[in-house]
Structure 1
Amino acid sequence: MRYSLVGLCIAFCLGILVGVYLKIPFLIFCLLTFLFLIFSIIFLRQNTKFNILILCVTFFLGAAVLKNSQILPNFHIAKLIPYKSDSVSLIGVIDNDPTYQNRRASFILKVEKLKINEEWVKTRGKVLVRVFSAEGGSASGGKKNDFAYGERLFLSGNLYRPLSFSKGEFNYRDYLRHQGIYLILSVQKGNIVKQLDKNVGNPLKSFAFQMRHKMKVVIIKNLSPFSAGILSAIILGERQNLPVYVRDVLVKSGTVHIIAISGLHLGIVAFIILLTLKIIKIPRKPRYILTILLLIFYCLLTGANTPVLRSTVMASILLFAYFLKREINIYNSLSLAALMILAVNPWQLFEVSFQLSFLSVVSIVWLSPKIKSLFPQKVNKIPWIGFLISVFSVSFAAWLGLLPLIAYYFKIFSPITILANMIIVPYMTIIVASGFSLAMIGILIPSLTSTFAASNELFILILFKINSSLIAIPGAYFKLPSISFVYVLLYYALLISVFNSSKIPIITRIIGRNDKQAYALL
């Protein structure tokens, strides 16, 4: 089957949905998975029956994985104490890169021990820790109360259940629960915070975060707060210092994706790495392996969120295929990336970032060659016009694919997005390349940073001016009222029916070529 993984991915996702909405015990889904697996082995040589049974296995496996994620062990911290308690003491290891905002440090703690009734008991689970009146509010700190990934801490404070406030379709309690976080520890000024050990975490992850901090220090020291906030968001995924009005402009123009590390950024970084390695004459096969390893490192450096994980998996598959000199099926590689992410955390299926990330790629790969084929072949063969048509096709395809979800979640309709992305996406290559050059030169040769800083200031100012000018055009964007999800489903049904129509001329050769072009752009 050409798209075998696509069917398995859809079945797995449907199983997750069933697991959420049907109150069927975990063991029942496990039993059904096992039974259908036995039947699939029995009918191994009967292709049709085997394929149907394997889809059933994957479906029930998806439901079982979801149900398993809802089961907490008896010694999980969420079961050992009430959701609101008096002061408690914990020992655990910091599991992410701490963030600082308004004299408050926030990080995820993997709990190891909990003090109950003057006795320490072993436990597990994640807790979101907020240390108030924390010093060291910047990456350039090094102050007494700075925290770091991999530190083992003794903490005292108040544990409470996350508030269930909502903003539109976003629910904060569900958001944390989907990350395996059921409790928040509030550590006020005067509570005990003591470091017991350090460098307990993964050494590679620790090194990635250290490099991230050094790059951030260079950016903050050499750029204005305005430019530093934008560049940190673009190349490091650090959005704490991004001005609110900048984010508002990007949302209105439909280019807010440039401040969320995704396939666009990974593609540019991969291009820069491959070009650099080629210039220094690294052989072809080692060049691809080194690029894969460096992309994995960049994934860790930026926090390894869903879009960058998806992009890293897909880029690694593509590069490994080039390493083996094999053709690659984009839909299968995308499905494999989704299966890997959902197998670890099935709740990602309900996250907006997961939905937008994967749907944007599907839209580009599926729709852009169809859109491009509508233009005359003679026009397509003219180099500069053909390039503009390709860029337009990709931008229009992504806009068509994400239009209803953007309207549903963010209540905005932005026709200007098509033009904005045609300009901004190619321009991002300059921003990312110059940003990394500034960060690395600042670390290796600090005396040369002033020249690179000036060019970065100019490039970022131009980026903001382009977006500001575009949203000033009448009819660039419209605010929308809340819409029903039924309309979202109807839109996609209409989109599929229109673009699957036989009236749209599709040439297999064109699809194959454009699939590769779309993949490269991703």
Structure 2
Amino acid sequence: MLKPAYGMKLSAVRTLLLIAAGFFTAEHVNISFWLVLTLIVLGLILIRSTRGISVYLVLLCTAYLYRHSAQPPAVPPMIYQLRQFQGVVIQEPLAHPEITLKLLSPLSGKVVLRLQDSISGQRYGDLLSISSQIRPLDYPRNPGLPDYNRQLLNQGIIGRASARRSQIRLIRRHLGNPVLNGIIIPARRYLVRVFHRYLPQCDIKLLLGLLVGEKGELSPELSSALADTGLWHLLAVSGLHIGVVVTAIYLLLSVLGIRGWLRFAILTLLTLIYTGIAGWQPSAVRAAIMSWALFLSIPLQRRLTSLTSLAVAGILILILNPDTLSSVGTQLSFTAAAAIITITPKIQDRLRQIPTPARIRKSILLPLAVSIAATAGTLPLLARYFYRFQPLSFLATLLILPLITMIIPLALLVSFSSLLSPVIAGTLAQTLHLLLLLTRTLITVLGKLLCPTVVFTGRIPAPAVWYYYGLLLLILNWHHNRARTLFRIAGLLGLVLLVTGYAIHKPRTAITFLDTGAGDAVLLEDTLGRKLLIDAGIDRTDVLSDYLLSRNIRHLDAAIVTHPDRDHYGGLLRLDPAISIGHLFIPVLSGDTGYQRLLQYLQARGTVIKTAGAGAELQGFGFQIHFLAPDRLTCWLYSRKLAATNQVSIVNLISYSGTNLLFTGDCESASLLKQTAGSARIHILKSPHHGSRRGNPPELFASLQPDYVIVMGRYPTPARIESILPAKRITYLNTRRDGGIILRFPGGKPQFRRN
């Protein structure tokens, strides 16, 4: 049995874990309400006979029911048919042109409204009438990638809309929370105004990320450098930011002679305001609650352990907002904090054995220990959600951290001094500008230096994450013989499973039709692991790059861009630099500026670029790949601007194990498709030009007689083929409706798996 003191010491931690387990079960497993209720009653009855252990069962089942009750109701379809709706602004933009509205009764839910010609004028608490239609959430859905539609629905967001200024009518103001309306929102606006007055735009983007976690407007170069250095966590308001702010306020209050309960009240109030300015991010709320526990210990002269205050913060956050459990930011914040609390002392004990001066130990070794602990704690989550991790991120953090601890208080000082003296504020802003410039430069340089050390893992499964944390827990308890024994057994078992998995794993023939939101993107894989990409989708999303990295695919043997339209080549513009392409086959060398930029970029990276058209064959894959179009005459007409881009679209006939697939690109000539296909029996047809009327006449299906038709990039289709094909006994698939689709050939027969 556990000692009473030990049991009480970790009771908050166990409570948090049980609540999280109950929430997780509710999100993934459907259990009868009456069965759960029976287990609760049974647990209450057995409390005495089990010496309290059955309380854990009661808590687990109660958390399950609570999470189920907190899930949003189904969205009525009539909401998406309205031409006008009313809502109250609950989140106004800082830099991006989007606001969030809460619909008025009898409607329910939240809507993200994109402002097409203005980002000013709409404020928190405004009641607006919008003359626009709410669209259902339609983010791309693909195998192995997060479903953002489900995540947003769990947060109560039911759709999106867009409107111009003329479509927005203000009905009433100040309907929101009085505290937010009177203090937090005005303070947030004031900060933005001050920064725009004294700093250049590039500084403001980074500063808003550091100060309030607004990271959507960062440049691609800086975002890439932050990812390569593992410093993205600096843009999530957490213990670092709250700690810097609290320390500055604490020192100021100490200088003014304010102590005791008054100091606690002021610190709590100002921390609450800063957390609100940061948008109530779970990481900020967690840090604020832990800070309040520390503040309260001073006048009470009774201190909670850091692990207990972390657990209490987690319990409160989950009760107030159950959806935060599935938030990546929340998971990273809590695991990093837990690792810092539990692992840092172990590392410090090791570092103390190194003979170093006290100043170096305090200024370098202690931050180094904290950075190493945070890296160790978040490593598996970074690998699971971002498909990579930077093992040397603790060194980058050690270099950037001193700058951040100066930037945050200085930014607040600039804002405060602007109320008193614009001259002083301008002088301080110049120093702030230099610090931000130095930070940007250092992050960019570190990104280039540390880029080769990034470890790409692909998306690791959830059991592997739990296994890692289990081993970490055993290491932390290494002083117990039982922990050492269990570690050796678990380590050996994991090694056996890993080696066995690699030994029995072999590539399988598969064709993946990706849902990129707009355009086409198809990945072909053979049994030797060779990979061919046909088109890349549009560049408004990172679907292609994310999917490849989630599979730990960092080299494509070949790629085909069917024609120079952005919804077919755009995804390659956003391809992660870690992914290389051996050969690129295109119909023509000329195109718009984006197409030219892509060819120059790939050529500079060593990709061999070749033109291909009718009569060509691509060999070296487990598929037979024939190019049926375009012909030379059409390409010549295109070069003279006498033919459109769709007319030079590559058409491929791909065969595998007796199954013929016709990839049509955006070719809209039904006669050309029938002629080029010849006598070949087409089993699977990729619908021409995303289901367009011109490209999908009824006679095309009557002539080719495919068994399956796949539409990519559009649903419903202009040709309404989803209502035509069932009558012809043709199976209809659509990546916009079904999500990403995987085609495999078990026993040589085609078999589709929808997302």
Q: Determine whether 1:130 maps to 2:105.
A: no
In structure 1, how many angstroms separate the alpha carbons of the residues matched to 2:380 and 2:217?
30
Q: Determine whether 1:491 maps to 2:468.
A: yes
In structure 1, how many angstroms separate the alpha carbons of the residues matched to 2:163 and 2:34?
40
In structure 2, how many angstroms separate the alpha carbons of the residues matched to 1:501 and 1:37?
36
1:415–1:476 Cα contact (<8 Å) kept: no
- Give the secondary structure class of the aligned counterpart of 1:473: helix
Q: Determine whether 1:33 maps to 2:46.
A: no
In structure 1, how many angstroms separate the alpha carbons of the residues matched to 2:372 and 2:141?
32
Q: Determine whether 1:320 maps to 2:296.
A: yes
- Provide TM-score, normalisation by structure 2: 0.59
Matched to 2:29, the amino acid is: L
Matches within 5 A, 1:55-74: 55-70=56-71, 72=73
For 1:466, the equivalent position in structure 2 comes to 442
2:387–2:458 Cα contact (<8 Å) kept: yes
For 1:10, the equivalent position in structure 2 comes to 17
In structure 2, how many angstroms separate the alpha carbons of the residues matched to 1:154 and 1:363?
48
Matches within 5 A, 1:360-375: 360-375=336-351
Matched to 1:59, the amino acid is: L
2:95–2:217 Cα contact (<8 Å) kept: no
For 1:398, the equivalent position in structure 2 comes to 374
For 1:450, the equivalent position in structure 2 comes to 426
Matched to 1:53, the amino acid is: S
- Give the secondary structure class of the aligned counterpart of 2:24: helix
Residue 451 to residue 18, structure 1, CA distance change in 2 (3 Å): same
2:94–2:192 Cα contact (<8 Å) kept: no
Q: 1:257 aligns with which of 233, 239, 263?
A: 233
Structure 2: stretches of 5+ with no match in the other structure? 1-7, 482-755
Q: CA deviation at 1:39?
A: 4.8
For 2:750, the equivalent position in structure 1 comes to none
Matches within 5 A, 1:340-419: 340-377=316-353, 379=355, 382-419=358-395
Q: 2:402 aligns with which of 423, 426, 435?
A: 426
Q: CA deviation at 1:310?
A: 1.0
2:85–2:131 Cα contact (<8 Å) kept: yes
Q: 1:271 aligns with which of 238, 241, 247?
A: 247
- Give the secondary structure class of the aligned counterpart of 1:374: helix
Q: CA deviation at 1:89?
A: 2.4
Structure 1: stretches of 5+ with no match in the other structure? 114-121, 505-522
In structure 1, how many angstroms separate the alpha carbons of the residues matched to 2:231 and 2:27?
33
Matched to 1:106, the amino acid is: E
Residue 188 to residue 31, structure 1, CA distance change in 2 (3 Å): farther
In structure 2, how many angstroms separate the alpha carbons of the residues matched to 1:478 and 1:377?
30
Matched to 1:303, the amino acid is: G
Q: CA deviation at 1:99?
A: 4.8
Residue 30 to residue 308, structure 1, CA distance change in 2 (3 Å): farther
Residue 190 to residue 379, structure 1, CA distance change in 2 (3 Å): same
- Provide TM-score, normalisation by structure 1: 0.84
Residue 36 to residue 465, structure 1, CA distance change in 2 (3 Å): same
Q: CA deviation at 1:423?
A: 2.2
Matched to 1:90, the amino acid is: F
Q: CA deviation at 1:499?
A: 3.3
Matched to 1:11, the amino acid is: L
State how many pairs are aligned. Answer: 471
- Give the secondary structure class of the aligned counterpart of 2:436: helix
Residue 53 to residue 280, structure 1, CA distance change in 2 (3 Å): same
Q: 1:291 aligns with which of 255, 259, 267?
A: 267
Residue 317 to residue 232, structure 1, CA distance change in 2 (3 Å): same
2:133–2:161 Cα contact (<8 Å) kept: yes
Q: Determine whether 1:154 maps to 2:129.
A: yes
Q: Determine whether 1:195 maps to 2:176.
A: no
In structure 1, how many angstroms separate the alpha carbons of the residues matched to 2:72 and 2:423?
55
2:246–2:267 Cα contact (<8 Å) kept: yes
Q: Determine whether 1:227 maps to 2:222.
A: no
In structure 1, how many angstroms separate the alpha carbons of the residues matched to 2:95 and 2:59?
42
1:231–1:460 Cα contact (<8 Å) kept: yes
1:208–1:300 Cα contact (<8 Å) kept: yes
- Give the secondary structure class of the aligned counterpart of 2:138: coil
In structure 1, how many angstroms separate the alpha carbons of the residues matched to 2:389 and 2:184?
38
Q: CA deviation at 1:481?
A: 4.7
2:332–2:378 Cα contact (<8 Å) kept: yes
In structure 1, how many angstroms separate the alpha carbons of the residues matched to 2:115 and 2:274?
28
Deviation string for 1:246-301 (max 9, x for gaps)? 12211211112222211110000000111111112212331122101110111111
2:89–2:127 Cα contact (<8 Å) kept: yes
- Give the secondary structure class of the aligned counterpart of 1:288: helix
Deviation string for 1:394-445 (max 9, x for gaps)? 1111111111211221122313311111222233211111111112222342
Q: Determine whether 1:97 maps to 2:92.
A: yes
Matched to 1:199, the amino acid is: H
2:222–2:444 Cα contact (<8 Å) kept: no
2:19–2:59 Cα contact (<8 Å) kept: yes
- Give the secondary structure class of the aligned counterpart of 2:91: coil
1:413–1:477 Cα contact (<8 Å) kept: no
Residue 378 to residue 49, structure 1, CA distance change in 2 (3 Å): same
2:418–2:424 Cα contact (<8 Å) kept: yes
For 2:668, the equivalent position in structure 1 comes to none
2:388–2:458 Cα contact (<8 Å) kept: no
Q: CA deviation at 1:475?
A: 6.2
For 1:518, the equivalent position in structure 2 comes to none
Deviates more, 1:479-488 or 1:366-375: 479-488
| Structure label with greater radius of gyration | 2
Matched to 2:13, the amino acid is: V
- Give the secondary structure class of the aligned counterpart of 1:88: coil
For 2:590, the equivalent position in structure 1 comes to none
Q: 2:51 aligns with which of 49, 52, 71?
A: 49
In structure 2, how many angstroms separate the alpha carbons of the residues matched to 1:237 and 1:296?
16
Q: CA deviation at 1:370?
A: 0.8
Matches within 5 A, 1:68-83: 68-70=69-71, 72=73, 78-79=75-76, 81-82=77-78
For 1:112, the equivalent position in structure 2 comes to 104
Of Structure 1 and Structure 2, which has the larger fraction of its residues in helix? Answer: 1
In structure 2, how many angstroms separate the alpha carbons of the residues matched to 1:112 and 1:503?
59
Identity %: 25
Residue 457 to residue 245, structure 1, CA distance change in 2 (3 Å): same
The two structures, once aligned, show a CA RMSD in angstroms of 2.4
- Give the secondary structure class of the aligned counterpart of 2:355: helix
In structure 2, how many angstroms separate the alpha carbons of the residues matched to 1:186 and 1:383?
56
In structure 1, how many angstroms separate the alpha carbons of the residues matched to 2:366 and 2:292?
24
Q: CA deviation at 1:457?
A: 1.0
In structure 2, how many angstroms separate the alpha carbons of the residues matched to 1:84 and 1:111?
13
1:234–1:260 Cα contact (<8 Å) kept: yes
Deviation string for 1:351-410 (max 9, x for gaps)? 110110000001111111111112345737734235422121111111111112112211
In structure 1, how many angstroms separate the alpha carbons of the residues matched to 2:403 and 2:450?
24
Residue 500 to residue 124, structure 1, CA distance change in 2 (3 Å): same
2:72–2:153 Cα contact (<8 Å) kept: no
Residue 384 to residue 18, structure 1, CA distance change in 2 (3 Å): same
In structure 1, how many angstroms separate the alpha carbons of the residues matched to 2:208 and 2:25?
40
1:152–1:196 Cα contact (<8 Å) kept: yes
2:199–2:433 Cα contact (<8 Å) kept: yes
For 1:119, the equivalent position in structure 2 comes to none
Residue 26 to residue 322, structure 1, CA distance change in 2 (3 Å): farther
Q: 2:415 aligns with which of 410, 416, 439?
A: 439
For 2:221, the equivalent position in structure 1 comes to 245
